[in-house]
């Protein structure tokens, strides 16, 4: 069983890895034996997170604004200057925007769609060669897209571009999976529910109230996220192709 869930000898890149869900995933990968690169826009924040995470293993900061196709290519070039191959890519960086329907702005639409949907595609494309070089039939490379339960069911908050981007990422994960499995690259995803973070401030600031809405009667925590991500990244998740692991304590089907 230790071998089944081990990431020994594997290298991972996690976007948005300096905080929140990305930092949780990075910690889990490090504890499972992986060498981990984390990326985020702010250098000081990214460097500080890498320093914290280095308590669990080798963690390297790659500060970069990876938004859009050009940003994705820039981050890929930065990573490839350090490593020739990549075993695990986690497309986690994301953004949210909330405004009333009548005044919802084009800038809020474009920013969120650019980061949440466009970047995962073009970063995976830019790192396709490195993923393919690391992959074998017996040990496939992995791409894990972090979506949201808001892409699966309706959240009544007026976050129109966020919901659309995450629904798009759920479907994009399936389509990419059907193509990249030909290269021994397994694409899957996680759709988190209520985890306290800077992005989900309602869960962060009102944990008891939010927990009452969840069938499991609690928020998600670091162990939940680490377990799901290590499962998909390791040998244990090799046969999960194109699927979303819904990690929400039952909230999606309870709304």
Identify whether 115 is part of a domain: yes
Statement: residue 255 has pLDDT above 70: no
Catalytic residue among 37, 79, 160, 162: 162
Comparing C-alpha atoms, which of 91, 217, 213 is closest to residue 153?
213
Residue 75 sits in a domain whose CATH number is 3.40.50.720
Identify whether 230 is part of a domain: yes
Looking at residue 115, its pLDDT comes to 96
Per-residue pLDDT tens over the stretch 196-226: 877 777 777 777 888 988 999 999 999 999 9
Identify whether 1 is part of a domain: no
Q: With beta carbons less than 8 A apart as the criterion, state whether 246 and 252 touch.
A: yes
- pLDDT above 90 as % of the chain: 90
Identify whether 100 is part of a domain: yes
Confidence of residue 109 (pLDDT cuts 50, 70, 90): very high
- Domain interval for residue 177: 11-247
Greater pLDDT, 210 or 83: 83
Statement: residue 182 has pLDDT above 90: yes
Identify whether 253 is part of a domain: no
Identify whether 254 is part of a domain: no
Task: Report the predicted TM-score, pTM, of the whole model to 2 decimal places.
Answer: 0.95
Comparing C-alpha atoms, which of 126, 56, 68, 73 is closest to residue 93?
68
Statement: residue 13 has pLDDT above 80: yes
Identify whether 196 is part of a domain: yes
Taking CA atoms, 39 is separated from 15, 71, 213, in Å, by: 5, 12, 33
Confidence of residue 195 (pLDDT cuts 50, 70, 90): very high
Statement: residue 32 has pLDDT above 90: yes
Structural domains of the chain, count: 1
Looking at residue 24, its pLDDT comes to 97
Identify whether 179 is part of a domain: yes
Structure-token match 């074998």, residue found:
136
160 in catalytic set:
no
| Strands (E) located in the chain | 11-15, 35-39, 59-61, 88-91, 141-146, 185-192, 244-247
- Return the structure tokens found at 44: 């000081």
């Amino acid at each position: 069983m230790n071998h089944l869930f081990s990431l020994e000898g594997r290298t991972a890149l996690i976007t948005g890895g300096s905080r929140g869900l990305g930092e949780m995933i990075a910690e889990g990968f490090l504890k499972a034996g992986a060498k981990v690169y984390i990326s985020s826009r702010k250098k000081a924040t990214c460097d500080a997170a890498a320093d914290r995470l280095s308590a669990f293993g080798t963690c390297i900061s790659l500060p970069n604004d990876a938004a859009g196709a050009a940003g994705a290519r820039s981050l890929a070039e930065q990573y490839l200057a350090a490593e020739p191959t990549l075993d695990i890519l986690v497309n986690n960086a994301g953004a949210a925007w909330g405004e009333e329907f009548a005044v919802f702005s084009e800038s809020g639409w474009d920013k969120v769609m650019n980061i949440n949907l466009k970047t995962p595609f073009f970063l995976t494309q830019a790192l396709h060669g490195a993923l393919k070089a690391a992959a074998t039939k017996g040990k496939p490379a992995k791409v894990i897209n972090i979506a949201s339960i808001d892409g699966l069911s309706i959240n009544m908050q007026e976050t129109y571009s966020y919901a659309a981007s995450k629904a798009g990422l759920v479907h994009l994960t399936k389509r990419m999976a059907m193509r990249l499995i030909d290269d021994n690259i397994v694409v899957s995803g996680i759709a988190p529910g209520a985890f306290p973070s800077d992005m989900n401030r309602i869960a962060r600031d009102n944990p008891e109230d939010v927990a009452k809405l969840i069938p499991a009667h609690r928020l998600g925590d670091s162990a939940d996220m680490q377990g799901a991500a290590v499962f998909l990244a390791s040998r244990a998740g090799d046969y999960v192709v194109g699927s979303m692991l819904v990690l929400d304590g039952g909230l999606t089907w309870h709304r």
